[in-house]
Amino acid sequence: MSSTLFEKSHVGRKGINIPKQSVNDAPKLDASLLRDTKANLPEVSEFDVVRHFTRLSNKNFSIDANFYPLGSCTMKYNPKVQERVGGLAGLANLHPHHITNNQTHLVQGALSSLKTLENNLCEITGMEAFTLTPQAGAHGEMLGVMMIGAYHKKKGNNKRYVIVPDSSHGTNPATAAMVDYDVITVKSNKDGSMDFEAFKEVMSDEVAAVMMTAPNTLGLFNPAVKKICDLAHSYDALMYYDGANMNAIMGVVRPGDIGFDVIHLNLHKTFATPHGGGGPGAGPVGVGNKLKEFLPDLQVGFSEEKGYFFDTPHQNCIGKISPFFGNYLVLVRALVYMQTLGKEGMINTSKKAVLNANYILAKLKPHLKAAYPNQLCMHECVFSAEDLTKEYGIKAMDIAKYLLDFGLHAPTVYFPLIVKESIMIEPTETENIDTIDYFCQKMIDAVELAKSNPEAFKEFPKTLPISRPDETKAARSLNIRWQ
């Protein structure tokens, strides 16, 4: 039943039949525009097409069908009300050129939604202003570090380095390198946090910025974060906050209050919007007073007499980072998500995300080695399959493959890099205890099976169309041609 549409093709079969028209055919295209060979399209019925694509879609793991505990990704439920609003014709059919054509009187509602979102983000993070234009977290990072560069250039500071902890997401050092800084990596201490003494040793006048994720990618909040900010500032280095893990602290702690100068948020993580498989994203960047003047072009302004308008860029504006407003409808969805939660709801969201992760940590800890067993975690918890590998030859990847057969998306494996055979689990606040218990039971089953019959793992997953592809080959020399 899983043949391709080409294999199903039958000469003369049609998807749609319409009666012969009584009007004349449209004039033929100029011969120079016509192809001289047949298009080689499959000839199939409507049902063939509908069933073919429905079957393919059922082969996808998706948040609407499966638990998706990917750590560092925040794969949460996407409320249908926000999809509904995001799809409203008045928003979805807006033309981006309403912006450049000086027709802002036609899009006052859209602009007010952007301004409201910007204000909400400022309130949530404690920053002074936001640009909504970057289209992903990594895009926001790049902008943030470029603005940091502009700040130092304007002050005549001679800076060469960006400091990152060894637990950082790969995009942090990559961004710093792309903006032409040299990267200094600081080791984590035994508690999983960037070690303050080690940090102090590498801090100098030549450091432009320190990039931190808080809580970090181990799901741990560095208790020295304020001290780190203060020390960095004493050298006129700026503090960059990677906000991908905001799901743990929104409504509870504000990076701006701690002392961060610039922050990106991943709206497609913390503020819902499907992003598995690389869907559209939004990575707004917030700044404090040191960086405000460098914000990129396209800021919404408001005055009583003019209503909403586009602000003239500041003379130190670093330019444009995106066409128009990036992924506008992702911004709309994030706004709807925030407004439906409200302030109390948002605080609850963080608390439940943290509670769910700690529940999993406590439940699995007796069975599988926790990377940091003596601490509470924040919104995600990290385990290591190292002991199973040593004793039974079962790796983190084997556990991940096992789970697939039980309708569970695999957790993040082999990241963060500083934990051997790491398995990183983020349940989010949107999963109930039944789902979480089911997941924990399958994890425990996997560990038991590893001990009793490690050979069995070779076969998992048994139920999916593809079981264990050569992943390097699949990435480097993908061949998805039918013939």
Ligand X SMILES: *Cc1c(COP(=O)(O)O)cnc(C)c1O
Question: Contact residues for ligand X (CB under 6 A)?
Answer: 72, 136-138, 169, 171, 213, 217, 242, 244, 266, 281, 283
Based on CB atoms, which residue is closest to ligand X, 86 or 283?
283
Least gap, CB of 134 to ligand X (angstroms): 9
Based on CB atoms, which residue is closest to ligand X, 52 or 76?
76
Least gap, CB of 264 to ligand X (angstroms): 8
Distances (CA, A) of 186 to 194, 221, 319: 6, 16, 32
Q: Which of 220, 246, 329 is nearest to 73 (CA)?
A: 246
Residue count (the chain): 483
Q: Which of 161, 183, 180 is nearest to 172 (CA)?
A: 183
Based on CB atoms, which residue is closest to ligand X, 171 or 299?
171
Q: How far apart are the C-alpha atoms of 301 and 224, rounded to whole Å? A: 37
Least gap, CB of 208 to ligand X (angstroms): 19
CB atoms within 10 A of CB 10: 11
Q: Bridge-partner residues for 309, per DSSP? A: 301
Q: Bridge-partner residues for 242, per DSSP? A: 213, 264
Least gap, CB of 384 to ligand X (angstroms): 19
| Residue 159 · residue 305 · CB < 8 Å | no
Based on CB atoms, which residue is closest to ligand X, 143 or 450?
143
Based on CB atoms, which residue is closest to ligand X, 378 or 394?
378
Tokens of 270: 């913390």
Q: What is the largest CA-CA distance in the chain?
A: 85
Least gap, CB of 139 to ligand X (angstroms): 7
Based on CB atoms, which residue is closest to ligand X, 104 or 131?
131
- Which residue type does 365 have? K
Least gap, CB of 130 to ligand X (angstroms): 16
Least gap, CB of 172 to ligand X (angstroms): 7
Least gap, CB of 235 to ligand X (angstroms): 24
Based on CB atoms, which residue is closest to ligand X, 117 or 330?
330
Based on CB atoms, which residue is closest to ligand X, 425 or 449?
425
Based on CB atoms, which residue is closest to ligand X, 132 or 317?
132
Place of tokens 């016509």: 34
| Residue 429 · residue 353 · CB < 8 Å | yes
Least gap, CB of 11 to ligand X (angstroms): 46
Q: How far apart are the C-alpha atoms of 339 and 131, rounded to whole Å? A: 19
Q: Is the peptide bond before 461 cis (omega within 30 degrees of 0)?
A: yes
Local structure of 302: helix, strand or coil: strand
Q: Is the peptide bond before 274 cis (omega within 30 degrees of 0)?
A: no
| Residue 222 · residue 194 · CB < 8 Å | yes
Cα atoms found within 13 Å of the Cα of residue 298, Cβ hemisphere only: 23
Least gap, CB of 244 to ligand X (angstroms): 3
Q: Which of 163, 194, 157, 158 is nearest to 176 (CA)?
A: 163
Residue whose C-beta lies closest to ligand X: 137
Based on CB atoms, which residue is closest to ligand X, 99 or 117?
117
* 286 burial type by CB count under 10 A (0-12 exposed, 13-18 middle, 19+ buried): buried
- Which residue type does 102 have? N
